[in-house]
Amino acid sequence: MNSNSVLLLITILLFAAMYVTGCIVYAGKGFSHLQTFLNILISNSGLICVTCGMTCVMLTGGIDISVGALIAMDCMFMAAGIESWGMPAPVLMLLVLLIGAVFGLVQGFCVGYLGIQPFIVTMAGMFFARGMTAMINTQQVTIKSSEFFVNLANLKFYIPFNIGAYANANGKLMVPYFRLPVIIALLVLLITFLLLRYTKFGRSLYAVGGNQQSAALMGLNVNRTRLSAYMLTSVLCSVGGICYCLNTMAGTTTQALGLEMDAISSAVIGGTLLTGGVGNVIGSFFGVLINGTISSLVKTNGKLVSSWSNVVTALLLCFFIILQAVFTKFKMRSRKKM
Amino acid sequence: MKIFIKKFARMPLFLPIFSLFLVMAVNIVFDIVNGNVFYSFFTVSIKNGVLYGRLVDILNRGSEAAILAIGMTLVVSASAGADISVGSVMSLAGGMCCMLLAGFGNVNVSSYAVPLWVGIGAGILAACLCGAFNGFLVSYMNIQPMVATLILYSAGRAIGLLLCNSMIVYIRVPSFKLFGGYLGIFPTPILIAAACVAIMALILKFTALGMYVQSVGINGKAARIAGYQSRRIIFTAFVISGLCAGIAGIVAASRIYSADTNSIGLDLELDAILAVALGGNSLGGGKFRYSGSIIGAYTIQAITTTLLKLGISSAQAPVFKAVIVILIVTIQAPVVRAYFQKRASRRALETRKEAISA
């Protein structure tokens, strides 16, 4: 068992411990129902997509902090497209994916071919996207007029055979359900998992992140790989934006504020090394679940302010970053001994 | 004339001064179009007993960015990264100061709960601790600077909110308004920024701090072998950055005589990084030009003020700043530089060939 699977194991155990503790402490407030877990999945479906993309870009040793702003821009574009420009929702969804691809292409070009630090490029991207959101509309735009979109957002998938069903205070049977974004997010998760594990492109991401020079010597096109990583991230982020928009049904300038932080911390908590080359999306998925559980616990408590979940997430991030640093030091030392 | 332009373009401070002139030109054109006299940008008058004018406004509003740029220059130079937590740390320092001055849990006070210096000292101390935390992660745990500061980027503002009970704490005492208000006819922030800039300039001039920081930034390993304590120097740079963020935070809180933790220092980290880049410093670390960063900070404020004057809202302004950042870093990018150098040398070769054949 190597140190990477240890990190993944720590993450899964942490999630289990947190969830079980929540179930015990807040049993009276309904935390132990299956619906609570499904709600975590529903409200974090956008984050799952984004974190899958973030994992890909972090595997190459880069980082993308423009994701939150890009989601805000996507949501605002869809909302304004439907409400002000009267465009059909399916076309807008495709357009949003296209915007993501172009956005990622520009960022990837700056990072891959011009050799500018990923952080600076994506920070500029973040401010650009946030500003563009305000350019489209500074007010909140709520989506009401597209029947297709509203129906999509209201779709409910009930769990069959009444598994996890419970009777509420009025004696009505509540069957747990999930919504469309969950399906999209899980599909994205599956596709990214397969992509990273079984395709040439996925393996080249690991190779570039592990050691750029040896990847180049192996005959990989490092620049192109890095460019495609950023493109993939922005496209997945746009998919996440669609999920996000289906959940919130609105576009505002402050939407998904600080989401990049959640995505990065989820990926790091899930065992993705910030230096690149190590990590997988399953760990990132559990990272998102941990994040979701924290904010759900804070919400269930009811007395705590929502900024507590920010503080706790940051503490966890800090803990895992230090853990990674210690692991890396350990590895270097054992390599030296060999 | 051509030689003069070439010489000017090679000057170390070309980029910041050129952009400053460009912004002034835009202002002058704007004034003429609006039917004002062309020098109205530069006019300084005294209204209500204080200095008044667009130039004063830029100098006043740009104080926080200039103070932040002092610390950011050192951090960028020493660690080849950036401290992206400064905006949040500013808000934390402002929150800490106001919370203590108001007494925890009070929203609106007209007298201090603790002496003024205790509140300000605690705010700056909290910011220094944040800087030390960042510095510890970067120098002793070998974590990339931007990732390490990402923790406080998110947590700093949240802790500030918790300190203030998620409310805006108002301090309605005249002596607290002093730091963001006016001292005589001068806006105090200008004086504070000038004092900070001068102190740092003296430190750089009379101690070896600047040399240490640069040598660590150029080659950390070589600097360590040469006998510098690389880690301690990087740590110091981050603590100074925290200190600057603290001072800027107090000024920002005093300006609105309240701790609005959600909005103090919002997006200012970008301004500070942009100031360093605009000052002609490489974001890849190493050599730095202190004066460039300061001019850069005021240039950015001039851009912001001009954009606001042109009718672009503060929410939309980041688009232009982002484009400027990308343009500057693209010019600085090694690939682009190599391309231009190659072109220049090829042209030189051609002229020489022509000379030989003639």
CB burial readout A3-23, b (16+ within 10 A) else e: bbeebbebbbebbeebbeebe
Looking at the complex, does the CB of residue A274 fall below 8 Å from at least one CB of chain B? yes
Of B142, B157, B329, the CB nearest to A116: B329
Cβ atoms of B101 and B113 within 8 Å: the answer is yes
Chain B CB contacts of A264 under 8 Å are 147, 150
Neighbours of B66 (CB within 10 A): 29
Q: What are the tens digits of pLDDT across the range A162-188?
A: 776 777 777 777 778 888 999 999 999
Interface test with B, best of A127, A305, A306, A317 (most B CBs within 10 A): A127
- Sequential DSSP letters for A131-162: HHHHHH-SS-EE--S-HHHHHHHH--EEPGGG
**What value does the mean pLDDT of chain B take?**
86
Beta strands A250-251 and A141-142 are antiparallel
Phi, psi of A18, rounded to the nearest 5 degrees: -65, -45
Looking at the complex, does the CB of residue A119 fall below 8 Å from at least one CB of chain B? yes
pLDDT band at residue B232, thresholds of 50, 70 and 90?
very high
Spatial distance between the Cα atoms of A212 and A197, rounded to a whole number of angstroms = 19
pLDDT at residue number A338: 57
pLDDT at residue number B308: 84
- Per the listing, tokens 């603290």 go with B246
Tokens of B267: 């997006």
pLDDT band at residue B327, thresholds of 50, 70 and 90?
confident
Of B142, B147, B322, the CB nearest to A128: B322
pLDDT tens over chain A, length 338 residues: 566 777 788 888 888 998 888 888 887 777 778 888 888 888 899 999 999 999 999 999 888 989 999 999 999 999 999 988 888 888 999 999 999 999 999 999 998 888 888 888 888 898 899 889 988 888 888 888 888 888 888 888 887 777 767 777 777 777 788 889 999 999 999 999 999 999 999 999 999 988 888 888 888 888 999 999 999 999 999 999 999 999 888 888 888 887 888 898 888 888 888 778 888 889 899 999 998 888 888 888 877 777 888 888 888 888 888 888 887 777 777 776 65
Looking at the complex, does the CB of residue A112 fall below 8 Å from at least one CB of chain B? no
Looking at the complex, does the CB of residue B107 fall below 8 Å from at least one CB of chain A? no
Spatial distance between the Cα atoms of B297 and B141, rounded to a whole number of angstroms = 31
Q: Do B159 and A132 touch (CB under 8 A)?
A: no
How far, CA to CA in Å, does A337 sit from each of A95, A331, A332, A333, B142? 54, 10, 9, 6, 21
Chain A nearest-CA distance from B353, in A, is: 32
Looking at the complex, does the CB of residue A254 fall below 8 Å from at least one CB of chain B? no
Beta bridge partner(s), residue A173: A167
Cβ atoms of B75 and B140 within 8 Å: the answer is no
pLDDT at residue number A2: 67
Who's near B82: CB < 8 A, 6+ residues apart? A119, A120, B72, B75, B76, B145, B146, B149, B269, B273, B276, B283
Tokens of A205: 């991401």
Spatial distance between the Cα atoms of B207 and B343, rounded to a whole number of angstroms = 41
pLDDT at residue number B2: 66
Q: DSSP character for B140?
A: I
Q: Do B322 and A125 touch (CB under 8 A)?
A: yes
ipTM for the whole complex? 0.79
- Of A111, A330, A63, A314, the closest CA to residue B137 belongs to A314
Q: What are the tens digits of pLDDT across the range B159-197?
A: 998 888 888 888 888 888 888 888 878 889 999 999 999
Cβ atoms of B80 and B148 within 8 Å: the answer is no
The average pLDDT across B321-339 equals: 79
Of A114, A134, A315, the CB nearest to B335: A114
Question: Residue A53 region, left (φ>0) first, then alpha (ψ -120 to 50), else beta?
Answer: alpha
Q: What are the tens digits of pLDDT across the range B22-73?
A: 888 888 887 788 777 767 777 777 777 777 788 888 899 899 999 999 999 9
Tokens of B11: 């000057």
Please determine, for residue B90, whether its predicted confidence score (pLDDT) is greater than 90.
yes
pLDDT at residue number B74: 94
Q: Helix A281-301 and helix A307-337: axis angle, to 10°?
A: 150
Interface test with A, best of B319, B339, B340 (most A CBs within 10 A): B319
pLDDT at residue number A161: 72
Who's near A217: CB < 8 A, 6+ residues apart? none
pLDDT at residue number A336: 67
